[in-house]
Amino acid sequence: MKTDSLQNAMNSAMKRKQALFVETEALRLLNAEASNTPRLVFELYGKHGVLYDYGTGDESELRKTAGKWLVEFGWESITLLDRSFAGNDERKDSAVVAGTAPETLVVREGPLQFRVEPQHPRNVGLFLDTRELRRWLRESSNGAKVLNLFSYTCSLGLAALSGGAEEVVNVDVSQRYLDWGRENLKLNGLSEDKCRFKNMDSERYLDWAAKKKLSFDRIILDPPVFSRFDGKVFRFESDYFRLTAKCSSLLSPNGTLYAVTNYAGIGAEDFKQGLREAVVNAGKTAREIQRISLPEDFDIAPGSGMRAEGNAMIFQMTINMPMR
CA dist 321 and 324 (Å) reads 9
pLDDT at 105 over 80: yes
Do residues 128 and 294 lie in contact, with contact meaning Cβ atoms separated by under 8 Å? no
Q: What is the dihedral of CA 34, 131, 118, 158, to 10 degrees?
A: -170
pLDDT in tens, 251-277: 999 999 999 999 989 999 999 999 999
pLDDT at 309 over 60: no
Q: Starting at the earlier edge strand, list the strands of the sheet with 40-45.
A: 26-31, 40-45, 48-53, 77-82, 95-99
DSSP 141: -
* Range from 130-139, 175-184, 279-288 carrying the lowest mean pLDDT: 279-288
pLDDT at residue 300, as a whole number: 81
pLDDT at residue 186, as a whole number: 98
* Range from 7-16, 177-186, 241-250, 310-319 carrying the lowest mean pLDDT: 310-319
- Tell me what the pLDDT averaged over the chain comes to: 93
CA dist 6 and 16 (Å) reads 15
pLDDT at residue 324, as a whole number: 46
* Torsional class of 160: left (φ above 0), alpha (ψ -120 to 50), beta (otherwise): alpha
Do residues 50 and 81 lie in contact, with contact meaning Cβ atoms separated by under 8 Å? yes
